[in-house]
Every structure is written in structure tokens, then in C-alpha cells.
Amino acid sequence: MGIKVFIFTFMISSLFFSLLFIPTLLTRPTNSTKFYQIKSTNNISQSLNTYPVKFAYLISASKGDLNKLKRALISLYHPNNYYLLHMDQSASKTEHQSLAKFVSSDPVFTQVGNVWVVGKPNSVTYRGPTMLATTLHAMAMLIRSCDWDWFINLSASDYPLVTQDDLIHAFSDLPRDLNFVQHSGHLGWKLSKRGKPIIVDPGLYSVNKSEIWWVIKQRALPTAFKLYTGSAWTILSRSFAEYCIWGYDNLPRTLLLYYTNFVSSPEGYFQTLICNSEGYKNTTVNHDFHYITWDVPPKQHPRSLGLRDYRRMVLSNAPFARKFKQNDLVLAKVDHELLRRRKGKFTYGGWCSKSKDKDGTCSRLSDDLGVLKPGPGSRRLKVLLTKILSERNFRRRQCR
Ligand SMILES: *[C@@H]1O[C@H](CO)[C@@H](O)[C@H](O)[C@H]1NC(C)=O
Ligand SMILES: *[C@@H]1O[C@H](CO)[C@@H](O)[C@H](O)[C@H]1NC(C)=O
Ligand SMILES: *[C@@H]1O[C@H](CO)[C@@H](O)[C@H](O)[C@H]1NC(C)=O
Ligand SMILES: *[C@@H]1O[C@H](CO)[C@@H](O)[C@H](O)[C@H]1NC(C)=O
């Protein structure tokens, strides 16, 4: 009897929840509901299950970034991964619409169904907590909709230096619980310039965009936890992402509330959270996987990279670099020499290299879907991984 009642209520509630869920899967971004998703056919999903690891990307963009975003997406695209694109509220309606059109009219994206656009864009303030909120929002959406092993946060001015086959191959034998969060507990000047000031981000409550504003009074440094700072570019494990989002432990929530009034919270939230959490601090790898060069002190603004940075960029063995101006010449060199990507086509990979196109370029799914063809990029990345995971670096540079 009890079982029957249980099954009945279970059926009713599943029906109810599926009714709630279906509309969110099918709506388009212009309807300003959740996000736009296309379902892939069964055959494709079967081949995709043979890949050893999956990545979920958030690629964020702002007003005027549309072309950079498209190029970054094509160069990062792989049918095995998931891509969530966020174009913030400051972009015009035309930009939002052409992004949606770009995604929904590409035959590969629609066939595989793994590129989505955030349909209800957030207002994002530079250096404000709304930046962090956008990242957490994306993580929540990706946790809810698909299976993946690592979450990677990028912007439209980032660019890959390895193919996705290289990345998947190099990550395939790593423990899935590693989190790549560059961090340091020695805050230096940031202790008083970041830890004490109180800011308010109008993006949280105002329809019109404006800068963060500073409260005259300052606060004391925290004593309930230790502050860490580092790079805003992280690669997070599925498990840690769930820890951040689900909120079964109170630390992620408490720190989020604390960081609401902290300037440049994206450079501190994940660092402070992971290093103060007993369960996760041993999974921290102190590297952000980006090649970035900074302005002369105070090192607050990354320089734009050009051809003269190419050699050092490759020698860094990093899988990503930033930042680049739109269509900078060095990107063509990266496409040609590192990604084997032809103009307007996808980055080289087993999934597309045998497609029936006469010119042999990567523009659609081939019969080899599910096969990896890693190249020199994978070897470079493995050199970097071996170095940062070595006895000398891994534990010794963890949460110090
Ligand atoms: C799926 O694969 C089967 C055989 O493997 C084939 O007959 C069928 O046409 C494929 N369906 C699609 C949608 O590609
Ligand atoms: C927001 O900006 C628009 C256009 O600049 C202006 O017309 C409107 O009054 C502003 N709204 C508020 C609440 O300041
Ligand atoms: C995530 O990516 C965006 C790029 O648009 C960046 O500005 C932000 O600081 C990143 N990090 C976090 C933790 O949100
Ligand atoms: C983390 O590492 C430290 C030192 O190696 C160890 O004492 C501790 O038990 C580890 N914590 C977890 C949760 O594994």
C-alpha cells in the first residue's frame, strides 16, 4: 500500500517537474527566459560518450565584443564540450539577436546542441560582485543541464593555444577533483587596498549601468577565515562547482555575502573559499593556465598580446592566453600554427578532420566522431601539468 502511494505521488511530481522543465529547454533567448538549447540526436550522443573528459565553458562578452566572441567560440568548439555564452546587458538588442542567430543557424551547433546563450543577460559592473554572480549563475545552469568534469571561465578576449583534442587528451588521466585556482595568502598591498574598503555595486539593484561606489568607512580584516587572492581565471572541478552552488555547507554562502562589498571579488572569492574549506583545499593546483602579461606595477591591467609575444606565449605551455585585440595578426598565426584552423572553420580535431569536405578542413562532423587526434599542443600541456603537479610544486604551493 505504502509503495503504491509513493509511486503515485512520485509520478504526479515527476509529471509536474517535467512540465516545469520542458519550457525552459525550448525557449529562445529573445523570449528572455532561461536559455536556448537544441537537442542532439541519439546517434551523436553515443559517439560523444566515448570521450574521456568533458569541459563546460562560460564565455562572457560585453558591448562591442560580438565578433571576438564568435571567433573565440569557433576556435574553442568541440562537440564533446558544452558552451554557455553570456553577452551582458550593456550590449545592444541587435548584438544579442545576432548572437542568437549565429548560434541557431550553425549546422554543427544545431546538430550537436551543445552551444547555449544565456537568455536573460545579467548586468555586469567592472570589478563588482555582479561579475562573480554571472560566473556562479553560469555554473548553476551548466550543473543543471549537463554532465561535465571541469568548468572553464573565459572571456571573448581570451584565445586557446591548444586544440580541444589536445586539452581533452592531456586532462584525461588527471584526478577529476583537481581545481586550478591560482592563489596566494600573501596579500601585500592588497590587504589594506582590498580587504578594508567597502564598495557597493549598483548593478545589483539599478537598471542603468554605473560604476561601483566606495563607502567612506572601512571595515576590519576578517578573523573568521583567511583571505587569499589570485587570478580571476580558474578551472573548477564538477565537485567543487556543486559545493559552491548547492549551499549544503554554509561557507560558500557566507563568503559570497562577504565578497558582495569587496572590490575585485572575482580575484578572491574562489581562492578564499577553496583554501578555507577542509574538504577542498587539498585539491587546489596553484596555476591559472593562462598566458597573461601585465602592465608595469601595480599589475592591474593585462597588456594586449601581439606577434612579438608569440614565442613566449608558446613556450609558456599554457593552454589559453589573453588578452587580444579583435583580429590581431597574432591570432592568425595561432590559428595556423597551433590550432590548424582555416579561416572561418573549426579548430582541427578528430571529430571533423575526416569530414567529406573536399578541402579537408574542419567544418562538420566526420565519421570519426569520438576519436581524439592530439598534437604537439597536448605534449606542451603535459609538460606544464607535470611541472605544476610535481612533488616540488603541488603540495608546497597549496594555500600558503
Ligand atoms: C543512427 O544510426 C543508425 C545505424 O547506426 C542509422 O541507420 C540512422 O540513420 C542514424 N540516425 C541518424 C539520425 O543519424
Ligand atoms: C536610465 O537611462 C535612460 C537613458 O539614458 C534614462 O532615460 C532613464 O531615465 C534612466 N533611468 C534611471 C532610473 O535613472
Ligand atoms: C570569469 O570570467 C570573466 C570574464 O569575462 C572575468 O571577468 C571574471 O572575473 C572571471 N572570474 C570570476 C571568478 O568570475
Ligand atoms: C589534506 O592534506 C593534509 C596534509 O597533507 C592532511 O593532513 C589532511 O588530512 C588532508 N585533508 C583531507 C580532507 O584529505
Q: What DSSP assignment string belongs to 232-285?
A: S--EEEHHHHHHHHH-SSSHHHHHHHHHTTSTTGGGTHHHHHHHT-TTTGGGEE
CA of 154 to the centre of ligand 3 (A): 7
CA of 170 to the centre of ligand 4 (A): 26
Most informative mutation of 249, 276, 282 for ligand 4 (most atoms within 8 A of CB): 282
CA of 43 to the centre of ligand 1 (A): 6
- Pick the ligand that lies closest to the CA of residue 60: 3
Ligand 4 close to Cβ of residue 398 (< 6 A): no
Element (H, E) at 44: helix 42-48
Q: Which residues have a Cβ under 8 Å from the Cβ of 40 and sit 6 or more positions away?
A: 48, 111, 112, 113, 114
Specify the pLDDT at position 28. 38
DSSP code for 319: S
CA of 353 to the centre of ligand 1 (A): 20
Q: Which grid coordinates are listed for 222?
A: 576578517
Specify the pLDDT at position 366. 84
Cα 324 from chain centroid?
17
pLDDT in tens, the chain (400 residues): 455 555 555 555 554 444 444 333 333 333 333 455 555 556 677 788 889 999 999 999 999 999 999 999 999 999 999 999 999 999 999 999 999 999 999 999 998 999 999 989 999 999 999 999 999 999 999 999 999 999 999 999 999 999 999 999 999 999 999 999 999 999 988 889 999 999 999 999 998 888 999 999 999 999 999 999 999 999 999 999 999 999 999 999 999 999 999 999 999 999 999 999 999 999 999 999 999 998 877 667 889 999 999 999 999 999 999 999 999 999 999 999 999 999 989 999 999 887 666 666 788 888 788 899 999 999 999 999 999 999 889 999 999 9
Residue 136 C-beta-side C-alpha neighbours within 13 Å: 18
Which residue type sits at 45?
S
Nearest alpha carbon, ligand 2 atom 7: 208
Element (H, E) at 322: strand 320-322
Q: What is the pTM of this model?
A: 0.87
| CB contact at 8 A, 50 and 168 | no
Q: Which grid coordinates are listed for 355?
A: 569530414
Residue 120 C-beta-side C-alpha neighbours within 13 Å: 8
Nearest alpha carbon, ligand 1 atom 12: 43
Q: Hey, is 290 helix, strand or coil?
A: strand
